[in-house]
Structure 1
Amino acid sequence: MTKNYLKFKSRIRIVSTLVMCVWLVFIYKLFTIQIIDRVDNPQGMKVEMIKGKRGNIFDASGSSITQNLTFYNIGVHPKKIANKEIFLRDLSNCTGTDLGIYNSKFNIAKSYIQLEKKTIKNCEELKSSYGSAIVINQDYKRYYPEENLFGQIVGFTNVDDIGIVGLESQYNKYLEPKTGSRVFKRNGFGKRIADPTLAYEAPENGSDIFLTMNKEYQAILREELIDQVEKTEASSAMGIILNPQTGEIVSMVSVPDFNPNNPKDFETELQKNRLLLDTIEPGSTFKVVTIAAALKSDINPMKEYNVEGPYNFHNIKMIEDSEPNSVLTVKEILAYSSNIGTIKIAESLGKDKIYNQAKEFGFGSKTGLNPSSEESGIVYETKKWSKSSMHSFPLGYELTATPIQIAMAYAAIANGGFLLKPYMVDQVKKSDNTILKNEKRFRKRILSQSDAEILKDMLAYTVENGSGKKAKLAGWDVSGKTGTSKKIINGEYSESEFISSFVGFFPKDDPQLLGLIIIDGASASSNYHWGSMSAAPVFQSVMKRIINIDSDITNKKSNKKLKTKNSDPILIQKNIKKSQNIEMVDMPNVIGKNVNSAFMTLAKKGLNPKIVSGMGVIISQSIDAGQKIEKGTRIELKAEIK
C-alpha cells in the first residue's frame, strides 16, 4: 500500500463516521418527534380538569361554619401496570387501605379504575415508579366544624360535593366552584412536557355566604332546649331568635338534631329544618290575631266581657277557661288567655274579620325564607268553615302554621305594624369580595302604629301579670304570649299530648330580640304541658344569657346584667368550640326510654347515637351504663314497639 492510499482510507473513515453521526442525530430527532413527543397523536395530548374549592359559609361574626378539607382521588390504568401485586402492595402501604379491597376492584380488562376516593394520602411518590399508569387528582371534602350546631340550617353535600339539603342545597349555584382545565403533552415514556403555549383555564372558587346567624346565640339556645326536653320529658323542642325590626334570623334550633359530617347515622327526620317544615295548631299564641282585629274595629282595650263559664257556644260546644273569672277587659282576656272572652270578641267581629286579620299576619302563606323548602300552613277560607269553626279558629285551632310564621306575626307587632320577610343570608361574596347577592328586604304594613303599640302594652301586661310571668327579665320590659294546644293523635285531639309555646320580644319600647320557644310533648303529669311552665322559662333562660354576653343589646330602662345559671362564658363556649383535651363522660342508661328521649339524653352528654334496628322503646345499648367514654363516641341502639 502506498502512503496516499492509507491517507485516503483514513479520510474515508472520518467521513463515514461523520455521516453515521449525522444519521444517528437525524434518527434520534425523528424518534423524539414521532415517538416521544408525538404531538400529532391524540394520545400525546391530554386535558386535565382542575377543581376549584367550594365556597364557605360563615356566621355573623365571620366564624367558619364549613371547611374544605384537601383529599385525593387515586386511579389506575391497569394495562399499564407490569406487576399488579407489587403495585397494589405499594398503594396499600401508602394509603393504609387493606390490600384485599384493592384486589377486589382491580380489573385488567378495564381501561381505568378508581381505587381511592377522597383519601387524605397524596401518594405522589408512586408517580416516579408508575408514571402515567397512576392518576392522582386533588379533591376537597366538605367538613362541618360545628357539627350538630348548624346541621339543620346548613345541611350537607353528597360525595360529589353538591349540596342536597339546607343552605348547601338552596345556595348551591353560588357555593359551587367553576372547574378549570389544562392541556398538556406526554411523551412516549409517559412524562409530561412543559409547553406554556397550550390552553389553560384557571379554576374559580365558589362564592362565600355570610349569615345573619350568631354562633353563640345558637349554642345557648340549643343547650337550653336540650336541658328543658330532658327536664320535662318532652319528645322534642324548637326555638327561633330574630331581630323583629329587620327580620334577621340570629338563631334557629330544633332538637333532637344531627351531625352533618355523618348524616347516614341519623334519621332523615332529624335532618330537616322543622321551624320551616313542621306545622302545628298554634293554640293561644294565635289569640293575638282576634285582639288585633278587635282593635282595628275600634273595640276599646278596656271594654269588659262576662267570661263566667262554662259558655254554651250555640249548643255546639261548652267553652271553659283553665281558670274561672267573672268579668275581664280585652287586655285581661289576652293576659289570662281566656277562651270564653276571645270567642265572645270574635263573635262580635264576625268570621271574615278574623280570617282577614290572620291572612294579613301571614298565616297560610310562605314567609319566603326558603320558598322551595317551606310549608305555607293551612288557613281555610270562611266558606269552608264548619259550624264549630268560630269557636276553634280564634283559639288557634282548625288552622296550621309553621313556627317561623308565628314568629314573624309577632315581629309585626314588635316593629310597629310591618310584616317582614325573614332572612338568614346577609350577603353572597365572590373571592374578590364582589357582592353577588343581597337578600331583598320586604315590609308591608298590616297594623297601624297605634294598634301595634297597644298590642305591645297588652302583651307586656300578659308577661307581668298573666300567663307569661316565667318569661320575665328583671329590669327589662318583656312583651309576650304563652300557648298550649292539644296534639292530634290518630285523627283526634289528645287529652295527654300537647304543644307548649311562648313567643315574646324585648325591650317593649325598642324591641331588639324576639324569641319563640316550642316544647313538643312535655309531661302533663307535672303541668309542664302548659306553655307558661315549659316554654316561657326557656325564653327567660336564653335571653338572660344573651343579655350577659352581648353588649349591643341596650335597654333604656336598665343596663343591668342578669344572674343566670349558665352565664359563665366558659359554659357558653363549651358548645361553640371543642376542647383541645379529650373529654370523658359517663355512659347513661337509656334502656326503657323512647327513641327521642334517648337521643336527647345521649346528645346532652355529647355522644353520637345511632338506631341500628327497630323503633319505639330502647331495648339495648352498645356500651353499658356507667362506663367512662370519650365525647363523640358512637352509641348503637336497638328499639322495639312495646
Structure 2
Amino acid sequence: MSSRRFVHRANFLVMIFFLILGYIVFRMFVLQVVEGNEYREKANMVRFRMEDLLPARGQILDRNGEVLARDTEAISVYCVPRMIENPEKAAQRIAPILGLDTGETREKFESRKSFVWLKRQVPLHLKEDLEKDKIVGIEWNKEYKRYYPHAPHLSHILGFVGIDHQGLEGLEFTLNEELTGKMGYMTFERDGTGKEIPGSLVYLSPQRGYNINLTIDRTIQFYVEKALDEAIEKTKAKGGVVIVNDPRTGDILAMASRPFYDNNHFNDYSPESWRNLAVSMLFEPGSTVKPMIMATALQENKVYLGESFYCGGSIMVYNHRVRDIKSHGQETLEDILINSCNVGTIQIAQRLGEETLYRYLKNFGIGESCETGLNGEEIGLLRKPRNWSALSIGAIPIGQEMLVTPIQLLRSVSSIANRGILMKARLVKKVTDENGKVVREVLPSPIHRVVDEETADIVLNMMRKVVDQGTGKKAAIPGYSIAGKTGTGQKIGEDGRYTINRFYSSFIGFFPVPEPCFGILVVLDEAQGEYYGGDIAAPVFREIVQNIIHYAGIMSENAEVTVY
C-alpha cells in the first residue's frame, strides 16, 4: 500500500517536473524565436547608441557684420516607450520639467511605437533636470534653435525655419541649401552598467552651414521700420512698404513691409502676415512713372527743353475725357513734372506712340523680375501694345493699366538717379564659410543703359524741382538737395472699376543730388483721411532721410558723403 502511494507521488512529481520543464522550454522558445527580435532590439538599444549630430545653420549678417540670424543650442527630448517600466510614474516626473500635460505624456509612454518625440527644441538648461534622476527610455538629442536678435525687425526679409531646421520663408527658405550644413553622427557601445566601452566610439563631425552677408544696413532698417509704423498709426493705413537702396549699385539697404510679424514667434501670426509686400504687392504706380515718360520723350527727341504745353484741366483720349486735378494752363516740360500734370504727360506720350512707350517702359524694368532672391516675388504686368485699348495711351503714362511691385518701381526710377543705367537689385553681398573664406560673391550688376547721362541728369533736376517747388514740398529738408516724385493711385474694386475712396499713396526720392547714393520709396495702402502721396508719404521719406543724414555723415548742401 505504501509502495503504491510512493509510485503515485513520484509520478505526480515527475509530471510537475516535466510541466515546469515544458513551460521553461516554451518560454525559451517564445523569448528566443517569437519575441527574439524585439528583445535583441531592446538589448542593442541599451548596448549600442547612435546619435545624429545636427550641423549649426549658417549665420545671416548685415553689411557691417552685425548678426541678424543665428543658432542657439537646445535639446529635443524623445522616449522609447517599450523601455519605460512605469509610464504613470515617469509621466509625473517628466511632464512638469518639459511643461507638458501629465495625461498626454503618459499616453506617449504607453504608445506601441518604437520612438515618440516628447518636445522639440527645449532650453538647454533643462538637460540638467533630466539628468538628475535619469529614467531609462527617455533620451534627448542636442539640436539648434534659430534666433533673430532684432525681431520683429527684418522678419519679412529673413523669414524663419521650421522645427526640423529647414527654411520656410524669406531668405531662410531661398538660401536654405547654403545655410544648411551637413549632418554628422556618433556611435558607441555601452557595457552592462551603461558606460561607454573605450575604443568603440565612431564620430563624424557635422559641417556648419555657410554664412550670408547681406546688403542690408541694420541701423537704416531700424529707422525705416520706426517711420513706417508711425505713419501707419497716424494715417490708419491698411498697410505699407518702405524700401531704401543705393541707386549706384542696386544694393537694398532696408526693406520693411506691413502688416508685420515676429519671426521668433511666427506661429503666433497668420500666414498672410508673413507675406513680404515689398516684392509681392502689385499696384498701379500712378504718377511715380512720369519721370520715366519724361526721360523717354527727351531721349527720343520728341520734346525739347523750353517747349510748352497747355493744360485745360482735361484731355480727350479717343472717346473718353481724362481729367486732371486742375487746369494748369501753359506749362513747360519742368512744370509738367513739378505739377504732376496728367494732361501734359498724356500729350507727351501721344507723341511717343504705343510701341516706343512700351519699349522704354520694358527697358526701365517694368513687368520684369527683380530677382531679389526673396520668395513670393511678383513680376508685375505691362501688356504688349497689341493688347492695348484705344484708351491705353492715355492711361499707361499716368501709371494706370500696369502693375508693379514696390521693389520694381524703385529699381526702375533709380536708373534715372544712376545716370541712365538700370541695376540689378542686390540683397546678398557674399557667402562665406565658418573661417571667413568667400564661397560666393555677388557683385553690383548693371543690366543695361536705358537713357543717356544727359537725359537722366535733366530729369533728375526736374525731380529736384518737384521737391523744391511742386507736389513733393513736404519731402524737402533745408540745406539738402533732394529729387523726388509723388504718386496717388486709385485702387480697383471687385467690380473692375476704380474706387472713389481707396488709394495707394506713394513718394519716391533720391539724395543727395546731383549724385544720389540713397533712393527711398514709400507706399501707404488705403490711408484714411488725406491720401495724396505728397501729403502723407513724402513726410515719411523726409523723416527717414533726416536719420540717414545723421547716421551716414552727410554734412551739408552738395557736401561729399563719407565712405559708406
TM-score interval w.r.t. the shorter chain? 0.7 to 0.9
Following TM superposition, by how much is the alpha carbon of 1:136 offset from its aligned partner in structure 2, in angstroms?
1.8
Q: How many residues align?
A: 516
SS at match of 2:164: coil
RMSD value, Cα = 2.2
Distance 1:56 1:238 in 2: 26
Gaps of 5+ in 2: 1-39
Check 1:374–1:109 CA distance in 2 against 1; reply closer, same or farther (3 A cut): closer
Q: Which residue is equivalent to 1:498?
A: 503
Q: Which residue is equivalent to 1:384?
A: 387
Q: Which residue is equivalent to 2:65?
A: 62
Contact 2:475 2:538 in 1 (8 A): yes
Q: 1:337 aligns with which of 327, 340, 346?
A: 340
Could you tell me the TM-score, scaled by structure 1's length? 0.77
Does 2:199 correspond to 1:195?
yes
Contact 2:90 2:135 in 1 (8 A): no
Deviations 1:450-483 (A, max 9, x none): 1111111111111111111111121111111101
Distance 1:428 1:448 in 2: 34
Deviations 1:369-400 (A, max 9, x none): 12753111010000110011111011110110
Check 1:482–1:126 CA distance in 2 against 1; reply closer, same or farther (3 A cut): closer
Q: 2:372 aligns with which of 369, 382, 386?
A: 369
Check 1:448–1:559 CA distance in 2 against 1; reply closer, same or farther (3 A cut): closer
Q: Which residue is equivalent to 1:537?
A: 539
Letter of the structure 2 residue corresponding to residue 512 of structure 1: C
Q: Which residue is equivalent to 1:416?
A: 419
Q: Which residue is equivalent to 1:514?
A: 519
Contact 1:132 1:191 in 2 (8 A): no
Q: Which residue is equivalent to 2:138?
A: 134
Q: Which residue is equivalent to 2:483?
A: 479
Q: 2:278 aligns with which of 267, 275, 278?
A: 275
SS at match of 1:67: strand
Letter of the structure 2 residue corresponding to residue 68 of structure 1: D
Following TM superposition, by how much is the alpha carbon of 1:138 offset from its aligned partner in structure 2, in angstroms?
0.9
Distance 1:468 1:270 in 2: 31
Q: Which residue is equivalent to 1:92?
A: 95
Q: Which residue is equivalent to 1:328?
A: 331
- Correspondence list, 1:68-147, <5 A: 68-92=71-95, 94-107=97-110, 109-120=112-123, 121-124=125-128, 126=130, 130=134, 133-147=137-151
Contact 1:292 1:357 in 2 (8 A): no
Letter of the structure 2 residue corresponding to residue 213 of structure 1: I
Does 2:347 correspond to 1:309?
no
Check 1:257–1:372 CA distance in 2 against 1; reply closer, same or farther (3 A cut): closer
Q: Which residue is equivalent to 1:291?
A: 294
Deviations 1:87-108 (A, max 9, x none): 3333235435343331122125
Distance 2:177 2:168 in 1: 12
Q: 2:398 aligns with which of 371, 395, 418?
A: 395
Letter of the structure 2 residue corresponding to residue 520 of structure 1: D
Check 1:286–1:131 CA distance in 2 against 1; reply closer, same or farther (3 A cut): same
Deviations 1:493-535 (A, max 9, x none): 0111111111010111111100001111122x4xx21111011
Contact 1:57 1:208 in 2 (8 A): yes
Check 1:231–1:95 CA distance in 2 against 1; reply closer, same or farther (3 A cut): closer
- Correspondence list, 1:574-613, <5 A: none
Following TM superposition, by how much is the alpha carbon of 1:262 offset from its aligned partner in structure 2, in angstroms?
1.8
Check 1:123–1:229 CA distance in 2 against 1; reply closer, same or farther (3 A cut): closer
Distance 2:329 2:111 in 1: 90
Check 1:178–1:118 CA distance in 2 against 1; reply closer, same or farther (3 A cut): same
Contact 2:59 2:67 in 1 (8 A): yes
Q: Which residue is equivalent to 2:552?
A: 550
Following TM superposition, by how much is the alpha carbon of 1:84 offset from its aligned partner in structure 2, in angstroms?
3.0
Distance 1:127 1:558 in 2: 64
Letter of the structure 2 residue corresponding to residue 107 of structure 1: E
- Correspondence list, 1:40-59, <5 A: 44-59=47-62
Check 1:255–1:128 CA distance in 2 against 1; reply closer, same or farther (3 A cut): closer
Could you tell me the TM-score, scaled by structure 2's length? 0.87
Q: What percentage of residue pairs aligned between the two structures are identical?
A: 31
Following TM superposition, by how much is the alpha carbon of 1:549 offset from its aligned partner in structure 2, in angstroms?
2.3
Distance 1:439 1:448 in 2: 26
Gaps of 5+ in 1: 1-37, 561-642
SS at match of 1:193: coil
SS at match of 1:261: helix
